[in-house]
Structure 1
Amino acid sequence: MDIKQIQELIKFVSRSGVNEVAIEQKDFKITIKTNQAPTVINTIAPATATVLPAAAAALPAAIETKPVDPVDESSKYVTIKSPMIGTFYRSSSPDKPSFLNVGDEFSVGKVICIIEAMKLFNEIESEISGRIVKVLVDNASPVEYDQPLFLVEPM
């Protein structure tokens, strides 16, 4: 997670009214706390989410979680997810061709899309090599952090 993503997360937490958010990845852990009064929220848990015991104790009892149906695609595919909140674009401008289309092969480091966040256009580079099986988001659509963007057959 880079500094821009952390700043966006802090702004999101302060606007949303949530008291505390904790994110833990392989080599990174961040907890953001506010001094606001508790807010009751309803959320849908992603299929791959895991709640750590320490984080579970911090969640309000009023949060309702609903399981998400698993992706009906074969497990041999990998999902490329959005690294940030913003607007998803498949090309660098409306008159340019898409970075990737269904069936296209790509390698590590290739720009696969652009996500606009806070008036900045962030080129998203692939961390894997593969072939696009399905584009999961429409062009110029808003996306959330960790939202699936592409279904990829790894190579």
Structure 2
Amino acid sequence: MPLDLSELRELLTALNQTDIAELILKSEDFELTVRRGSRIEPADGSQLSSRERMSLSPIVTPLPAADLSRGTADTPNGAPSQSVPPPTSDRRLVEILSPMVGTFYRSPAPDESPFVDVGDRIRSGQTVCIIEAMKLLNEIDAEVSGEIVEILVQNSEPVEYGQPLMRVNPS
């Protein structure tokens, strides 16, 4: 019995309202596997504890400074965000990328100050933001020390896997 798109949406919506971690549907025509959260496998084949599986690191990709030609970004209300210093040809920036799909938050709570702002110095391992995925809050830690040059996502905005979140001038 094949599932149509609306039935699949209903199934995923129903699963989202439960605490089921994994569902596998099999028939002669198809196989569907739905898992909550991220599955992280170590390169050496060893097993991770459940706490280690929940700890996620962002993906970091070097980016040439020349790719920052736009200089400023507009916020949803039309006001320009904090401007970025003009890039220099000898400077290499590093992007902090989202390790998952979810909702980006700059601070630990709505009434608290952001983890980082443009111009802040950060160190490797420092929490720079939170991404909420499936009602779980995942702290995203920097993998590089340096200065925050640009924050590319607005607070409470949805993000995709691999989407650039921030740009850092490594030190």
1:71 counterpart SS class: helix
How far apart are 1:76 and its partner, in Å?
1.2
Describe the superposition over 1:93-134 as per-residue Cα deviations: whole angstroms up to 9, x where unpaired: 110000000000010110000000000000111111010001
| Equivalent residue number for residue 114 of structure 2 | 98
Amino acid of the structure 2 residue aligned with 1:72? L
How far apart, CA to CA, are the structure 2 residues paired with 1:139 and 1:72?
Answer: 21
How far apart are 1:137 and its partner, in Å?
0.2
User: Which protein has the larger Cα radius of gyration, Structure 1 or Structure 2?
Assistant: 2
TM-score, normalised by the number of residues in structure 2: 0.50
1:89 aligns to 2:105 (yes or no): yes
1:76 aligns to 2:92 (yes or no): yes
| Equivalent residue number for residue 119 of structure 1 | 135
TM-score, normalised by the number of residues in structure 1: 0.54
Show structure 2 runs of 5+ residues with no match: 1-20, 25-31, 34-42, 45-60, 70-86
Show structure 1 runs of 5+ residues with no match: 1-6, 16-26, 29-47, 49-69
1:146 aligns to 2:142 (yes or no): no
1:107 aligns to 2:103 (yes or no): no
Runs of 4 or more consecutive aligned structure 1 residues displaced over 2 Å after TM superposition:
70-75
How far apart, CA to CA, are the structure 1 residues paired with 2:98 and 2:124?
Answer: 16
Amino acid of the structure 2 residue aligned with 1:135? I
Trace 1:44-55 onto structure 2 (pairs within 5 A): none
How far apart, CA to CA, are the structure 2 residues paired with 1:104 and 1:72?
Answer: 18
